[in-house]
Chain A
Amino acid sequence: MPEYSANASVFHPLSPAASAISALFIGTLIFLAVILALVTFLVIWFIIRFRDRPGAPEPVQTYGWKALEIAWTVIPAACLVVLFIFMAITMHRSDPPVGTRTPDLIVIAHQWWWEAEYLQSGVVAANEIHIPVGRPLLLELRSGDVIHDFWVPQLARKVDVVPGHPNHLWLEASIPGTYLGACAEFCGTEHAWMRIFVVAQAEPEFEQWVRQQLVIPPAPSAEEASKGAAIFQKRTCANCHTIEGTAANQRIGPDLTHLAARRIIAAGAAENTPANLSLWLKDPDIFKPGSHMPNLKLKNDEVRALVAYLETLK
C-alpha cells in the first residue's frame, strides 16, 4: 500500500465533523465504562462475600424492594435523556443540513470501485478523491448497481450508497494528508477490495491537481507506447474504459485518462507500479479474483506495450 495516514482510527479525527463524533464517542464510552465497572464490581463482590461456606446458615428469603427497583429504572433513564440531547447536538454538527446547495462532487459506487466526477471542473477520477484542505466539499453519492457505503473514518461519518436513493455527505480535512477509506456495506465478491483514498491538499496544490487532470494526454511518441495505444483501441479495453483524446469513451470501468498519476489500481488491491500493472493486465484474478475486469489472455509483448502506454497517462 502507498503512503497514507497511518492511524485510521475514528479516535484520530482530522475534520470538524469527525471530531464532533469522536468527542461524543469518548464521552459515551466513559459513561458506559462506569456502568460496566459497577456491575462487574457488584457481581464479584457478591459472589465472594456470599459464596457457599461450610456451615453457612440458610439465606434469609427476600423478594425485592420496590424503592430500589424504581431507583434503578429512573436513574438510567435520566442518564439516557442527557445522552440523547448530546446525540442530537452532535448529529447536527457532524452532518449539517445540505439545503438546496448543488454538490461539488458526484461519487458513483460500482462493484467494486469508485468513480468521482467534479461538477465544476469536469474532472473524472477513480478510487482517489482529491480535496482542498479546510474547505468542505458536498458529495452526492449514487450507486451504479447494489448498495455500497462510503467511509473514510478520520474525515466523516459513513453513508450508504443506495441505488435509486442519492445521499449527501460533507467531506473535509483539516490538515493535508492521504486518508484511507473503504466500502463498508457488503456488496458482493470483491467487497474487501473496494478501498478509497482521499488526498487532502492545500488549495494551490489542489488547483494544480485539477489543472493536471484537465490536460488531455498527448498521443505517445515512443514506439512501444504507441503500439500499446493501438492495442488498447483494438482489443476490448476501449469497450469499457475512457481515455480522453482517443476514441475510447466508455464508462463501464474507471476512466484511465490519468491512470499513471494514481497511487493505486484495482481499488486498493495493489499499488500502482508498472510491475503490478503488468500482473493486473495479465490476470486480474491475481490481485482481485472475481472482479469484472476480464482476463484478455494478453501475450507478454502486448502487456509490455500496454503498460508502456498506460504509464504515459500522467
Chain B
Amino acid sequence: MKQAARDELSGGIAFDPQDTWLEWIASIDHKQIGTMYLAGAFVFFLAGGIEALLMRTQLIVPNNHFLSPEVYNQIFTMHGTTMVFLVLVPMLIGFSTYLVPLMIGANDMAFPRMNALSFWVQIMGGILLYFSFMTGGVNGGAPAAGWFSYAPLSEKAYSLGPGVDYWALGLLAIGVGTLTAAINLVVTIICMRVPGMTIQRLPLFVWMTLVNSVLIVTAMPLLNAALVMLLIDRQLNAHFFNPAGGGAALLWQDVFWAFGHPEVYIMILPAFGIISEVIPVFSGKPIYGYEFVAASTLAIAFLSLAVWAHHMFAVGLGHAFDLFFAGSSMLIAIPTGVKIFNWTSTMWGGRVRFTTAMLFSLGFLVMFTIGGLSGVAVAVVPIDWQVTDTYFVVAHIHYVLFGGAVFALFSGVYYWFPKMSGRLLSEQWGKAHFWLTLIGFNLTFLIQHQLGLLGMPRRVFTYPALPGWETMNMLSTIGAYLLGISVLVFIWNLWISLRHGAVAGDNPWGAWTLEWAVSSPPPERNFARVPPVHGRRPLWDLAHPDRADELVKAKR
C-alpha cells in the first residue's frame, strides 16, 4: 500500500504494515484493486456456475421435481444477473484496471481513490443482490423476473416479495461502481500516457478499453434511470411501466435494451482487446491491420447504440421499425467480421506457439464466429420471430458470452497470470483445462440450437417428454457437468501454480508491450524508468533497433 494512504488511514496512530488484510482493503494501488476485481468476479463466477449446474440438473429429465418452479426462476434470474453484472463486466474492468496503467507507462490510475470506491461499491452491490436469498417468508427469496426483469412482471402486483427491489438496488450500486470505473479509465488513458505513447500507438487492449469505457459512460445511465423508475413504481406506487395505471410495459424494454445491447458489447470489447494482444505475441508478428482493428471497434461501439430493438422484434412494433433495427444489427456484423479476418491473418506467415493462452484465443476465434453468425441469423426479423425466447437464443448468447468473452478471459488469465503472480500457470493442467472447456462448452450449447428449433422455450423449469427433447437435454446437462469439472481443473492449476509454478521472469512470452518491461509481479511503483516509446511495440523496437516497426514501415 502507498505510504500516503497508510498515513491517512492510521491517522497518525501506530499501524502495523504487516496487516495484509487491511493492506488489501485500504489499497488504492491499481494492481491490488485489479487483482481484487478479478478475484471477486471469480467468486461470483463460481456462484453463477453453481446456479447453472442446478438449472441443468433440473432439466436433465422431463417433468423433474429437483427444483420447484419458484426456486428455478430465482436461480435462472440470479445466474443471468450474476454472469452479466458481477462476472463478465468486473472481470474485464479488473484486467483493464491492472493492465492499462502498465501498458501506457503510468504508475497508477488517474483517480486512485475513486478506483477503490468503484470496486467496493460494485462488490457491495453484489452482496446486496445475493442477500435477497436470505429474505425468507411467504413471498421472499431472490428476484425471479429474469435478468432483464420485464415489466409488468417485475411490478409489485406480480412480484410481491422484496426480490426485485434487491435486484434493482444491487444493480444500481453495481452500475455506479461500473460507471466510475469507466470514467477513471477514460481519464487515465487520455491523460496519463507516457511521452511517445500517442493514441495511434496504444496497445489494442488499451484502445478497446477506451472505447468500451466511453460506451459504459454512454449506456449505463440508462440502466440506472430505468432502475430508479422501477423502484418508484414498486415503492411509491407510480406506474411508469404499469399499463393498468396508464404506464407502458414496452417503455421498460426500450430503456432497458437501449442500455442492454451496448452492455453486450461492453462485455465483449475488452475481450477483443485480450485476443488482439495474445494472437500477435504467439504468432511472432504484429497485429494485422492495426488501424482497421481499432477503427472497427469504434464502429461497433457506435452502431451498438442503435440496435437495441432487435430484442423486441416479437412485441409488435410494426415492420418499418423492425426493418430499421434489423438493418443496423446486420451492419454491426461487418466490423466484427473485419476483426475476425484480421486476427486470423495475423497468423499467416507467423510462428504459432500453442500455449494455453493461444489455445483459448484460437478457441475464441471459432466459437465467437459461431455466436456472431447465429447473431446475424437472429437479426433477420422473420427468423427472430421463430427463434426468439427459445433455446436457440440461449445457445446464441452463450456462444457470444462464453465461447467469446469467457474464452478470451481464460486466454488473458493464462497470458497475464505470470505478470501478476511472478509464476507461470502449469501448461499441462492448462491444456487439460482448455480441452475440457471446449468439449464441455460445445456439448452443452451446440445442441441447444436444435432444442430451440424444435420449439423449446427458454426459462421453463421443466418440459414435456417430447421426441428428442429428453436425449438432447440430457446431453446438454452432461456437457454442463464437464464444464464444472473444467473449472475445478482451473482452480487446481491456480492453486499449485501459485505455490510451485515455474518462475516467470519479466517477459516469459517474448511480448512487446510495456507491462512486460517491469518485474513480475510489478513493483509497487510501476516504472523506475519507462522504456522509450517510438512505435506500437516498444520492447520489439528495443530488442531490434535496426528493424524497429516505424523504420520497417518507413522503408516501404
On A, residues with C-beta under 8 Å from B are 1, 6-11, 18, 20-21, 24-25, 28-29, 32, 35-36, 39-40, 42-43, 46-47, 50-53, 56, 58-65, 68-69, 72-73, 76-77, 80, 83-84, 87-88, 90-92, 94-95, 111, 145-147, 149, 151, 153, 157-160, 162-165, 167-168, 180-192, 195, 268, 289-290
Tell me which residues across on chain B come within 8 A of A167, comparing CB atoms.
315-316
Is B237 among interface residues, defined by CB-CB distance under 8 A? no
Interface residues of A, dominant DSSP = mixed
Q: CA A72 – CA B292 in complex, angstroms?
A: 11
Select which of A68, A76, A83, A191 is within 8 A of B345 by beta carbon: A68
Tell me which residues across on chain B come within 8 A of A157, comparing CB atoms.
314, 382, 385-386
Interface residue count on the B side (C-beta < 8 Å): 89
Residue of A nearest to B369 (CB): A39
Query: What is the number of contacts between chain A and chain B, taking CB atoms within 8 Å?
Result: 267
Interface residues of B, dominant DSSP = helix
Residue of A nearest to B248 (CB): A164
Select which of A7, A21, A56, A163 is within 8 A of B386 by beta carbon: A21
Select which of B153, B290, B327 is within 8 A of A186 by beta carbon: B153
**B69 touching A87 by the CB < 8 A rule?**
no
Q: CA A72 – CA B380 in complex, angstroms?
A: 21
Tell me which residues across on chain B come within 8 A of A158, comparing CB atoms.
314, 385-386, 388-389
Tell me which residues across on chain A come within 8 A of B152, comparing CB atoms.
145-147, 163
Q: Give 1 or 0 for each of B471-515: 1 = CB within 8 Å of chain A CB.
A: 000000000000000000000000000000000000000000000
Q: A59-B283, A186-B146 are in contact. Are A94 and B553 (CB under 8 A)?
A: no
Q: CA A289 – CA B455 in complex, angstroms?
A: 23
Select which of B284, B292, B362 is within 8 A of A43 by beta carbon: B362
On B, residues with C-beta under 8 Å from A are 68-70, 73, 144-146, 150, 152-153, 158, 243-244, 248-250, 283-286, 288-292, 314-316, 319, 322-323, 326-327, 330-331, 333-334, 337-338, 340-342, 344-345, 347-354, 362, 365-366, 369-370, 373-374, 376-377, 380-383, 385-390, 453-455, 457-467, 547, 549, 552-553
Tell me which residues across on chain B come within 8 A of A95, comparing CB atoms.
319, 382, 385
**B347 touching A46 by the CB < 8 A rule?**
yes
Can you give 29 contacting A-B residue pairs, CB < 8 Å? A10-B453, A18-B386, A21-B383, A50-B283, A51-B351, A59-B349, A60-B285, A61-B285, A61-B549, A68-B345, A80-B330, A80-B331, A91-B322, A151-B455, A153-B454, A153-B455, A159-B314, A162-B250, A163-B243, A164-B249, A165-B249, A165-B315, A168-B316, A182-B457, A188-B73, A192-B462, A195-B464, A268-B464, A290-B69
Tell me which residues across on chain B come within 8 A of A68, comparing CB atoms.
289, 345
**B292 touching A69 by the CB < 8 A rule?**
yes
How near does chain B come to A181, taking the closest CB pair, in angstroms?
8
Q: CA A162 – CA B330 in complex, angstroms?
A: 27
Q: CA A244 – CA B165 in complex, angstroms?
A: 43
Q: CA A180 – CA B463 in complex, angstroms?
A: 13
Q: CA A84 – CA B365 in complex, angstroms?
A: 26
Q: CA A74 – CA B295 in complex, angstroms?
A: 15
Q: CA A47 – CA B283 in complex, angstroms?
A: 9
Select which of A28, A43, A151, A195 is within 8 A of B383 by beta carbon: A28
Tell me which residues across on chain A come within 8 A of B244, comparing CB atoms.
163
**B382 touching A24 by the CB < 8 A rule?**
yes
**A61 touching B286 by the CB < 8 A rule?**
yes
